[in-house]
Amino acid sequence: MSDNVDTEVFRDRAKLRDLRIQHRDLDSVIGRLAEDPLVDQIMLKRLKKRKLMIKDQITRLESELIPDLNA
C-alpha cells in the first residue's frame, strides 16, 4: 500500500514539475509575442488562457501534495 502512495506522490511531483516548466515556457512565449504589434491577438488570448489553465492545475496539485494543517 505504501509503495502505491509513494509512486503516486512521485508521479504527482513529476507532473507538477512538468506543469511549472510549461507555465514558464508559455510565459516567455507570451511575453515575446506581446511585444510584436502584428501578433495574432486571438492566438495570444488562447496562449494566455492555456497558461491560466496550467496555473490552475499547478495550484490544485500543490494543494493535494501539501498536507492539510487542520487534520
Which strand (E) or helix (H) includes residue 69?
none
C-alpha cell recorded at residue 2: 505504501
**pLDDT tens track, the chain, 71 positions:** 567 767 888 898 999 999 999 999 999 999 999 999 999 999 999 999 999 999 999 999 999 887 765 65
* Burial class of 61 by CB neighbour count within 10 A (0 to 12, 13 to 18, 19+): middle
Tell me which residue of 56, 48, 58, 53 sits closest to 27, measured CA to CA: 48
Closest among 22, 24, 30, 28 to 48, alpha carbons compared: 30
pTM of the complete model beyond 0.85: no
Q: Residue 66's pLDDT is what?
A: 79
- Answer whether 12's CB lies under 8 Å from 64's CB: yes
